[in-house]
Amino acid sequence: MAVEKLFKDEATEEKGERARMASFVGAMAIADLVKTTLGPKGMDKILQSTGRGHSVTVTNDGATILKSLHIDNPAAKVLIDISKVQDDEVGDGTTSVVVLAGELLREAEKLVGSKIHPMTIISGFRMAADRARKALLDRVMDNKDDAEKFRSDLMRIAMTTLSSKILSQDKEHFAKLAVDAVMRLKGSTNLEAIQIIKKAGGSLKDSFLDEGFILDKKIGLGQPKRIENANILVANTAMDTDKVKIYGARVRVDSMAKVAQIEGAEKEKMREKVQKIIGHGINCFVNRQLIYNFPEELFADAGILAIEHADFEGIERLALVTGGEIASTFDNPESVKLGHCKLIEEIMIGEDKLIHFSGVEMGQACTIVLRGASFHVLDEAERSLHDALCVLSQTVNDSRVLLGGGWPEMVMAKAVDELARKTPGKKSHAIEAFSRALIAIPTTIADNAGLDSAELVAQLRAEHHKEDSNAGIDVITGTVGDMSELGISEAFKVKQAVLLSATEAAEMILRVDEIITCAPRRREDRM
């Protein structure tokens, strides 16, 4: 008996078949969970946290859904991971990647059941993925030389990305916003320069893109509301030391007059600091920390706009956008880089006053102001827009474009099928299974739209056996349609990432033959 016991109490292990079952089932369950959010007719999920305040998130974004799940199954965690990576890497396709990996495992389970070794399946999958990628490369379109066409490609991609999200009603409006914002970046994928401000109220249609930078703050009292040709000093420094804080400091004095003296000295110190700051020749001072009334008064007298408590992200962005640097000491004005912009003024959005910096140094910068009925709508709109911005900024760099709507999957499936027929041996079963898994994506898109998926996919397949077909699923009419006429496009980079990540994740889970869960550590009684 003593020999058998290898692990501590409560540690468990699953071997062979059972381990594989556990990982397959977990992965497939995760895939089925997000499956219904795929495609233009995909549904949203409500996620409610059990923490304080029971915050509610309504979302359609695969990565967001999976991030919020707490899951015990190790294989399911692998899938959650790939969807996170997909989100960071290209921003969109988070659902597709999980669905594809789940389908690959579903197919693999059947193969393992019919006594094909996992390694054989893996090498088949490898060959198939490679072939599928080549098939996409053959059919890819690239319009980066023709600016007009490229812009319309970007619009199409943005509209396709947004059509499965909450913004699908006004997708043209938002696609235009996203494309304008990304075109201003001129090829950098740094989305920091695009700021998204959410203001509840109005409807989603009222959202707009603003050239320049908007800081979510009010302008202080008695200060100029409008400054032209501003020189901006962005700082992170304490401007609240002109009063003695009673509870913080212990000062022993023998009369009240002495306290007044101390206060006077503090005030002088403050005044000197303010003089130093004004000495930089600025007319706008933005501080990360608060500014008391006294320094504020001094700034107002000097005709300088002082903004306090700018949130940190706002400050970093502001420094980035106006071309300044964040300063914390003011002794040598020549070494501090000031920011510049043409005009600072106060604007109203809904009920709130905001400060608007226009004509900034960095031409790339812009602000998208989202309006919407409730905070949930705004959050989801921001996520959707972020997806679109990511995809577009990636596409600007890698301008290869594919059609959408299940077309790329069918192209890949066809190529993979042909490979399966040529390949001798057991691998061919795995390769065939890969093509079946690819077809699961158009099938899911059709299923979510409540269409007869078997019928549609069969028609699609027949269409694709003709040379150079553009057929995909047209969800709106519920038929097989021409994707290039409908203007449904996707970025090549997204599809490639989906294909490769899904294959690798499936491969990883397939390699598992034992799951060991370690025993929880016991707390010793210290009493």
Which is the catalytic residue, given 37, 57, 59, 61?
61
What's the pLDDT tens digit per position in 117-161? 989 999 999 999 999 999 888 888 887 778 788 888 888 888 888
In 3D space, the residue among 194, 221, 233 whose CA is nearest the CA of residue 210 turns out to be: 194
Confidence of residue 250 (pLDDT cuts 50, 70, 90): low
Instruction: Catalogue all structural domains in the chain, each as residue range(s) with its CATH number.
Output: 12-141+403-510 (1.10.560.10), 145-212+363-398 (3.30.260.10), 214-362 (3.50.7.10)
- Local confidence band at 362 (pLDDT 50, 70, 90 cut-offs): low
Residue 477 pLDDT greater than 60, yes or no? yes
Active site residue 387: yes
Q: Is the pLDDT of residue 58 over 80?
A: yes
Catalytic pick among 57, 94, 161, 367: 94
pLDDT surpassing 50 at residue 198? yes
- Measure the CA–CA gap between 341 and 213, rounded to whole angstroms: 10
> Is 95 an active-site residue?
yes
In 3-state terms the chain splits into helix, strand, coil percentages (rounded to 5) of: 50, 20, 30
- Whether residue 527 is predicted with pLDDT greater than 60 in this model: the reply is no
The string of DSSP codes covering 441-501 is: HHHHHHHHTT--HHHHHHHHHHHHTSTT--EEEETTTTEEEEHHHHT-EEEHHHHHHHHHH
Mean per-residue pLDDT for 290-301? Answer: 77
The rounded percent of the chain whose pLDDT value lies above 90 is: 10
Out of 95, 322, 444, 503, pick the active-site residue.
95
Helix 94-113 and helix 492-510, axial crossing angle in degrees, nearest 10: 40
Candidate from 192-206, 355-369, 452-466 with smallest mean pLDDT: 355-369
513 is catalytic: no
Which of 153, 210, 387, 447 is labelled catalytic? Answer: 387
443 classed as catalytic: no
Q: Would you place residue 247 in the very low, low, confident or very high pLDDT band (cuts 50, 70, 90)?
A: low
Tokens coding 238: 């304490």
- Residue 19, token pair as written in the block: 């381990």
| Distance separating alpha carbons of residues 112 and 126, to the nearest angstrom | 17
Give me the mean pLDDT over the 67-75 stretch: 83
**Burial call 211-248: b when 16+ CB within 10 Å, e when fewer:** ebbbbbbebbeebbeebeebbbbbbbeebbebeeeeee
The whole-number pLDDT of residue 156 equals 86
- Per-residue pLDDT reduced to its tens digit, 402-461: 888 888 889 899 999 999 999 988 899 999 999 999 998 889 888 888 888 889 989 988
* 490-525 pLDDT, tens digit each: 888 888 999 999 999 889 888 888 888 777 776 665
pLDDT (average), residues 91-113 = 88
pLDDT of 487 > 50? The answer is yes
